[in-house]
Amino acid sequence: MTYWLEGAPARPDVRQAQLLPDAYLNLISSSRARLRLALFLCIAFAGLLGFVVFPPQRFVVNADESTSVLVSRQRDVASLLDTVGVEREVGDVVVRGANQIKVERATPVVVEADGRILAWRTRAETVQDLLAELGVSVSPYDTLLYNGVEVSASDAVYASPIGLVSLTGFGAFNRTDSDPQGVVLQVVRAVPLTIVEDGRIIPLQSSRPSVAMALNQAGIRLGPADDVYPSPATAITAGMRVEVKHAKAVSLRVGGSTSLIYTHKETVADALGELGLFLGPEDRVEPGLDTPVVNGMTTRLVRVAGRQLIEKQDVQRKTVFRPDDTLAEFQSRVVAGHDGVSYSEFRIVIEDEVEVEKTLTRQWSDPEVVDNVIYYSTAAAQAAGFSPGSASVVRVDRMYATWYNAASSGKAATDPAYGITATGVPVQRGIVAVDPRVIPLGTRLYVPGYGFAIAADTGGGVIGGMIDLGFADGQISDWRTGWADVYILAP
């Protein structure tokens, strides 16, 4: 058997090798084995000693809203965090308990103020504390934008996705996440400006980006027709002067509808003219056209139209009595008249399509009505006890007229009821018998050719449209039986 010395060339030259005795070689091999055994025992003892002195320990690591558990003999916090892959950054705080390690992250921030951009990591609890760390002061009029949202100095600091990958270039955002967690805090400085509202001067400090927002900050609300110069969309600058002229709101009623208008005009007339509302010759405005316009007032425009109306009415002729001294007793003369037509002209006033006034302007007749005239004997009227001048005709009945006297009544002259009527008065000229169902007893009458009379008697043969004209005994009747007009007089 042939052996090579340890440390000899990898490929020795066989020709130059020297043969060693076997006993020598066995001695060398035995020494090496003992050395190796001693080294193994030392290592084993050291391991046993370390296991006894530093036994394995279980650790819970909380970081970035996740929990890791590991078992290790290591006691160094940095080594333990490296083992579970937790990176540490500037400003982070590591809190270690008996078997727990917690990493409290600092919030990365970028503060933009006064033209500077400051990158920082903070554990401040409020925006005010953060600004104090960076030595940035703010006034009550400045605006703080926290990731684009307006906040106050007392609001809390919290990390949120900002969605701006470009900010990872700042030292505060040194990760490469697609949605870095952090804060961009912008300090927008207020500038002085002057607002003139309807002549009232209002000094203001504002950090708002536009005139409209600065006016809103000052509590000035703009109406639909208000004038603002410069325009509400204009960006504000230091020393700017903003003019505001409010339009006046007017409730305008025209006809049956009401609308709200806005105007800068000074009088009601100018405001209506601005709307293109012009007045007719009879239209009116409440209040008057010269009334000054004030905010919140109510104005009414009344459209007035006039028209003429002619009403036609038929006029029935009446029958009147007139004395005629030339007529003999119980004679009469009738002059017939005719009906007429009366016309009345009115002026109609219409306001907002509603008739409000009707005034009579003139009257006339065409033809004029002509009454029937009955001329009677004055002596006959006085004998009958009538005053026909005050009588008025209620109606005219066409009746069949007969005549009678006491002798024709069928009673003997010795009869106590001889010549006595149903009402107890004696039969004589001027007493007539009627059917009470047609002409009530006591009704005054006039029968042409007979004269004035009173319905005071009844008779078995007097039925319906009949009338029996009375005469006294011995009085010669000049009446001829036949049809006659009977005038029924008012009581």
Give one DSSP letter per residue of 309-365, joined into a string: EEEEEEE---EEEEE-TTSPTT-EEEE--B-EEEEEEEEEEEETTEEEEEEEEEEEE
pLDDT of amino acid 180: 59
Q: Say if residues 70 and 83 touch (Cβ distance below 8 Å).
A: yes
In this predicted structure, what is the pLDDT of residue 181?
67
Q: Looking at residue 147, what is its pLDDT? A: 83
Class of domain 248-302: alpha beta
Instruction: With a cut of 90, say whether residue 46 has pLDDT above it.
Output: no
Query: Which position has the higher pLDDT, 169 or 383?
Result: 383
pLDDT at 175: 46
| 93-112 burial: b if 16+ Cβ within 10 Å, else e | ebeeeeeebebebbbbbbbe
pLDDT value at position 387? 65
Backbone torsions φ then ψ of 251, nearest 5 degrees: -90, 115
The per-residue pLDDT for 10 is 43
Query: Quick one: pLDDT band at residue 108, thresholds 50, 70, 90?
Result: confident
The candidate with the shortest Cα–Cα distance to 358, out of 349, 366, 367, is 349
Beta bridge partners of 319: 372
pLDDT at 357: 84
pLDDT at residue 4, rounded to an integer: 32
Angstrom distance (rounded) from CA 164 to CA 78: 31
Nearest in space to 452 (alpha carbons), one of 362, 409, 399, 388: 388
Confidence of residue 98 (pLDDT cuts 50, 70, 90): confident
- Residue 12 pLDDT: 42
Question: Which band of pLDDT confidence, cut at 50, 70 and 90, is reported for residue 168?
Answer: very low
pLDDT tier, 62 (very low <50, low <70, confident <90, very high otherwise): confident
pLDDT at 28: 52
Mean pLDDT score, 422-442: 94
pLDDT for residue 97: 73
Does residue 458 carry a pLDDT above 80? Answer: yes
Q: What is the pLDDT of residue 26?
A: 59
CATH number of 191-245: 3.10.20
What span, in angstroms and rounded, lies between the C-alpha atoms of 99 and 460?
Answer: 144
13 pLDDT exceeds 50? no
| Diameter of the chain measured on Cα atoms | 218
Is residue 7 scored above 50 in pLDDT? no
Q: What percent of the chain has pLDDT over 90?
A: 34
Domains in the chain: boundaries? 22-55, 57-104, 107-188, 191-245, 248-302, 307-365, 392-489
Over residues 430-454, mean pLDDT:
93
Burial environment of residue 202 by CB neighbours within 10 A (0 to 12, 13 to 18, 19 or more): middle
Q: Using the predicted structure, report yes or no on whether residue 55 has a pLDDT greater than 90.
A: no
How does pLDDT run across 361-404, given as a tens digit for each residue?
Answer: 899 998 999 988 888 877 767 766 666 555 678 899 999 999 99
pLDDT score for 299: 94
Say if CB 356 and CB 350 are below 8 A apart: yes
- 16-25, 35-44, 323-332: which has the minimum mean pLDDT? 16-25
- Superfamily of domain 392-489 in the CATH hierarchy: RlpA-like domain (2.40.40.10)
Poorest-pLDDT segment among 116-120, 432-436, 442-446: 116-120
Tell me what pLDDT residue 2 has. Answer: 32
Class of domain 107-188: alpha beta
Same fold, 107-188 and 248-302: yes
Residues contacting residue 412 through CB under 8 Å, at least 6 positions apart: 418
Residue type, 172: A
User: Is 50 exposed, middle or buried, given 0-12, 13-18 or 19+ CB atoms closer than 10 A?
Assistant: exposed
What distance in Å separates the CA atoms of residue 481 and residue 402, rounded to the nearest whole number?
5
